[in-house]
Structure 1
Amino acid sequence: MKITGYRTLQTRHDWGRPVGDANGFIVSGITEVPLVVIETDEGVEGIGMGSHHDLDRIFPALEGKDPRSVSSLYDAMLARVFKTGHAGATFGGIGAFDMALWDLKAKAAGEPLWRLLGGADRFVTGYASGLDIALDDDRLAAFYTGMAERGFTSGKLKGGRDAEADVRRLRILADVLSVNTPHPALMLDANESWNLKQAVRYVTEVERAVDLTWIEEPLRRWDAAGHARLTSSVRAAVATGENLTGLEQFRPLFDAHAVDIAQAGAVWGITHFLRVALVAHSRDLPVSPVGLTANYAVTGAAAAVPNHLSAEIQDLGAPVGVTLDQHIADGGVVLGDEPGVGVSIDERLIAESRGADSWTTPEGPHVRSQRTGLHLVTDSTWQA
């Protein structure tokens, strides 16, 4: 089997609610979903999700190669962009190709990804995450009520602007999720919006009222020294890593004992997740994949690593024209048996769908405020 080409598609995901974080939000709740299809000389195709960025520059590393050599091809893609670097959106392009390669490998083996990678259990535990900073209290309660009905016992709130409001909203999560457990796990995600002292003061204030399981992305993603000081100053575990593009970027954080929960962004691909998970395991750290709506296949990889803690489940639906061989139940994901990564697409339906808003609009959560981390007072009127 040889790789002969690739094509791209773009569909959209309708979240049914505004989605975002401390850096901004998408009012429409409609976002684009890039898809990549790798073609082979045997007619078997692999489907990937991630980014369309730099695909033309990366593809020569794959052309004419056997797609089943996934690990070698992953390193070949990294080498292909050696001079300019693989960080940022380019890493997302590598991740999209990587998912498609794993899809081809699993299809060729006639197995679902989770079994190909050695998983024994098709169930992957998860936590509810509403990307909910723009939701009022009623809509917040409604979202987590729906997730509680699917068996979830833990939830993550987007916050970081107003500690009093975050405490009130975390208590809403606790109340709703308590139908399944007397002690729901509560997490708070600040999305890199604080400096170190702000983080210590803010988390300390929240912890006076709420038992936080973890605080997520409290500081800039590369701040190993700051994360190390923070984790020794608060009770909550410190979780970070979703925006680190490459295993080498985790090294300073691991060496500084700055991370309690290693997170890997699903958009960066399956091989990246597997490598982060194993390095974290070597340090007795749990791993948690973030944003499975950007790459549902990482769920299958999570089933196969020994230190998976919980996966971020942000929505119960799927993008237009995308069918998933999995379902949400009992507080997690139940994976299916179809060969491949468990994602199939209807290209006709995708072509007929119109309109998509982007995560990268100026109002959206991927544009960092120039004043982030530079406020003497944080409150609900703070504009990102």
Structure 2
Amino acid sequence: MKITGFRTLRTVHDWGRPVGDVNGYIASGVTDVPIVILETDEGVEGVGMGSHADLERLFPALEGQDPRAVATLYDAMLARVFKSSHGGATFGGIGALDTALWDIKAKLIGEPLWRVLGAGDRFVPGYASALDAALTDDELAAQYRGFAERGFTAAKLKGGRNLEADLRRFGILTEILSGPGSSPALMLDANESWNLKQAVRYVSALEEHIDLTWIEEPLRRWDAPGHARLSGAVKASIATGENLTGLEQYRPLLDAGGADIVQAGAVWGITHFLRVAIAAHSRDLPVSPVGLTANHAVTAAAAAVPNHLSAEVQDLGSPLGLTLDQEFADGGVVLGDLPGVGIQVDERAIESARRSGDWQEPAGPHVRSPRAGLRLVDTGTWGE
């Protein structure tokens, strides 16, 4: 069997609500979902999601090769772009192709990927995370009631700009997600919007009122010593790593003791997640994948690693034209038995329903405010 080519598709995920974080939000709630289809000479195709960046430069590492050699081909893609580096969006292109390779491998074996990777249980525990910064209190409550109905007892708020508002909104989540004699696990995601002292003050103030399970991305992703100092100054765990593109970027963070919970972005693919999980496990640290709604395949990898803690579940729907072989129940993800990564693509539906909407639009959360970490007083607005 040989890899012969690839094609790309672009669909959208309509969240049905504004989505965003402290850096900004997308009012339409319509975000971009790039898809890569990897083709072989035997007609078996692999589906991957991540990025369309640098696919033309990466594909020569795969062309004519046996797709079952996933680990070898992953390293070949890294080597292909080593001069300009595999960081940033290029790493998303590697992740998309990597996921497609795993899809082919599992389809050829005739098993779902979670079984191929050695998982013994199809259930993956998760926590609710609605990208909820732009929701009103009523909208927030309605959204998390939907999660509560599926058994979720842990939730992560987007925040970090207004302490009073965050405490009020945590109160809403506590009321909705609490069970008989139990309180939910509560997390806050600041999306790299603080400097160190701002983080210490804000988290310490939160902890006077709530039991915060973790604070996520409080500082810039590369600030390993800052994360370590913050971890020693607050009770909450420090969760970070989702925006690190490559295993080598974790070394200073882990060496400094800057992560209590090691995260990996699902958009970067399966092999990356597996390698990050092993690195974390070698230090007795739990691992947590971020953004599974946009990349369902990494859920299977989460089921197979011994140190998985909880996976971020952002939405109970799926992108247009995609069917994901999974259910949300009992506070997590229940994986199905479809061979491969469990993604079915309706290309005709995608082609006939093109819509506007882009995760990279200027007002969105992927554009950092130039004043992040430089505010003395919160203004309650985005993007200034």
The aligned amino acid for 1:56 is E
Whole-Å separation in 1 of the counterparts to 2:347 and 2:49 = 14
The aligned amino acid for 2:293 is T
Residue in 1 that maps onto 2:87: 87
The aligned amino acid for 1:325 is D
Residue in 1 that maps onto 2:246: 246
The aligned amino acid for 1:348 is R
Residue in 2 that maps onto 1:202: 202
Indicate whether 1:255 and 2:255 are aligned: yes
Whole-Å separation in 2 of the counterparts to 1:54 and 1:383 = 29
Q: Is the 8 A contact 1:148 1:179 kept in 2?
A: no
Q: Is the 8 A contact 1:153 1:181 kept in 2?
A: no
Change over 3 Å in CA distance of 1:181–1:75 after alignment to 2: farther
Residue in 2 that maps onto 1:304: 304
SS of the counterpart of 1:106? Answer: helix
SS of the counterpart of 1:250? Answer: helix
CA shift for structure 1 position 72: 0.4
**1:6-85 matches, cutoff 5 A:** 6-85=6-85
Residue in 1 that maps onto 2:187: 187
SS of the counterpart of 2:124? Answer: strand
Residue in 2 that maps onto 1:98: 98
CA shift for structure 1 position 182: 1.4
CA shift for structure 1 position 378: 2.3
Residue in 2 that maps onto 1:234: 234
CA shift for structure 1 position 354: 1.7
SS of the counterpart of 2:304? Answer: coil
Q: Which ranges of structure 1 fall in alignment gaps of 5 or more residues?
A: none
Over the aligned positions, Cα root-mean-square deviation in angstroms equals 0.9
The aligned amino acid for 2:247 is L
Q: Is the 8 A contact 2:23 2:382 kept in 1?
A: no
Residue in 2 that maps onto 1:332: 332
SS of the counterpart of 2:233? Answer: coil
Residue in 1 that maps onto 2:168: 168
Identity of aligned residues (%): 73
Residue in 2 that maps onto 1:225: 225
The aligned amino acid for 1:289 is P
Whole-Å separation in 1 of the counterparts to 2:273 and 2:234 = 27
**1:138-157 matches, cutoff 5 A:** 138-157=138-157
The aligned amino acid for 1:261 is I
- CA deviation profile, 1:6-26 (whole Å, cap 9, x unmatched): 000001100010000000000
SS of the counterpart of 1:47? Answer: strand
The aligned amino acid for 2:232 is S
CA shift for structure 1 position 379: 4.4
Residue in 2 that maps onto 1:265: 265
Choose 352-361 or 199-208, whichever is displaced more.
352-361
Whole-Å separation in 1 of the counterparts to 2:379 and 2:230 = 21
TM-score w.r.t. length of structure 1: 0.99
Choose 374-383 or 73-82, whichever is displaced more.
374-383
Q: Is the 8 A contact 1:161 1:382 kept in 2?
A: no
SS of the counterpart of 1:334? Answer: strand
Whole-Å separation in 1 of the counterparts to 2:102 and 2:64 = 16
Indicate whether 1:134 and 2:121 are aligned: no
Q: Is the 8 A contact 1:325 1:338 kept in 2?
A: yes
Whole-Å separation in 1 of the counterparts to 2:116 and 2:110 = 9
The aligned amino acid for 2:53 is H
Whole-Å separation in 2 of the counterparts to 1:366 and 1:53 = 16
Change over 3 Å in CA distance of 1:181–1:16 after alignment to 2: farther
Residue in 1 that maps onto 2:374: 374
Whole-Å separation in 2 of the counterparts to 1:208 and 1:179 = 23
Whole-Å separation in 2 of the counterparts to 1:343 and 1:193 = 34
Whole-Å separation in 1 of the counterparts to 2:368 and 2:205 = 25
Whole-Å separation in 1 of the counterparts to 2:95 and 2:36 = 10
SS of the counterpart of 1:354? Answer: coil
Choose 293-302 or 117-126, whichever is displaced more.
293-302
Q: Is the 8 A contact 1:152 1:180 kept in 2?
A: no
The aligned amino acid for 2:157 is L
Q: Is the 8 A contact 1:214 1:238 kept in 2?
A: yes
Whole-Å separation in 1 of the counterparts to 2:346 and 2:191 = 34
Q: Is the 8 A contact 2:162 2:380 kept in 1?
A: yes
Q: Is the 8 A contact 2:224 2:253 kept in 1?
A: yes
Q: Is the 8 A contact 2:111 2:338 kept in 1?
A: yes
CA shift for structure 1 position 258: 0.7
CA shift for structure 1 position 3: 0.1
**1:350-365 matches, cutoff 5 A:** 350-365=350-365
Whole-Å separation in 1 of the counterparts to 2:63 and 2:250 = 30
Instruction: Spell out structure 1 runs of 4+ moving beyond 2 A.
Output: 378-384
Q: Is the 8 A contact 1:153 1:180 kept in 2?
A: no
CA shift for structure 1 position 295: 1.0
Whole-Å separation in 2 of the counterparts to 1:193 and 1:5 = 41
SS of the counterpart of 2:198? Answer: helix
Whole-Å separation in 1 of the counterparts to 2:381 and 2:217 = 21
The aligned amino acid for 2:364 is G
The aligned amino acid for 2:114 is W
SS of the counterpart of 1:284? Answer: coil
CA shift for structure 1 position 380: 2.2
Change over 3 Å in CA distance of 1:382–1:358 after alignment to 2: closer
Whole-Å separation in 2 of the counterparts to 1:129 and 1:185 = 12
The count of corresponding residues between Structure 1 and Structure 2 is: 384
Change over 3 Å in CA distance of 1:181–1:352 after alignment to 2: farther
Whole-Å separation in 1 of the counterparts to 2:264 and 2:40 = 29
